[in-house]
Amino acid sequence: MVGYSSSAIARGSGFRSKLGYGTGFFSLRIKLPDKDSAGVVTAYYLTSEGNKHDELDFEFLGNKQGKPITLQTNVFAAGVGNREQRFLLWFDPTADFHNYQLLWNQHQIVFYVDDIPIRVFKNNKDSGAGYPSQAMKIEASLWDGDSWATDGGRTKTNWTSAPFKAHFQGFDISGCPKSDHDSNTNRECFSPKYWWNSEKYWTLDSKQKGQLENVRNKYMNYDYCSDRHRYPVPPPECLHQ
């Protein structure tokens, strides 16, 4: 369990893996804070270090009691992010544990919720798109996003509902260990000896493609690729999804 209150230093807490990984499949079961969680961000993500870092995000944006919680996903490559896709989940993530998973190999990154793919980010480096390639550690945290998380920051945190508590279980890593400073192991992490690198995981199968399309049609409420105000010219990866 991770929690924080208005008196907590930096208003947040979390944990992370000791090792970094170059590719892998990562899963964590999470039960989000209940009651009035507006302004509260529960995050589960992979991240490297440095200014030009790579990062893969699950961010759960809290809301007032009875209102839906938004799941925001994001991808950073070489320090460039702003690749948000947001979803309203088809269940109450505060009522029970659900499994949130990430597949990462040299061909694709897949975000899953309870084994259902909700987002795919393909490796389109040949088209000029960035793609995460640095060693990343797995982190989970609970923190104060009052300035932006709920209704663009218009709905503030109700501190009378503190302490805010998120519950975590089933932290499972199938990954290729990789040092932050050892570039020689990068090719090793693409080896087919790791099951997540086998050809089966280079793309979704037909069933998974149908599941992904269903989620996008019914539950996605924001996609940066469709935001012409932010991106009059779509980013290169958006042309090759």
Q: Which residues are catalytic?
A: 55, 59
Pull the structure tokens for residue 34. 């209940």
The answer to whether the CB of 156 falls within 8 A of the CB of 39 is yes
Task: State the DSSP code for 208.
Answer: H
The answer to whether the CB of 64 falls within 8 A of the CB of 204 is no
Residue 194 phi, psi dihedral angles, 5° rounding: -90, 125
Task: State the DSSP code for 160.
Answer: G
The arrangement of strands across the sheet holding 98-104 comes to 2-4, 164-177, 21-31, 98-104, 108-113, 116-122
| Torsion sign over Cα 2, 13, 170, 98 | positive
Q: How far apart are CA 100 and CA 102, in angstroms?
A: 7
The answer to whether the CB of 138 falls within 8 A of the CB of 173 is yes
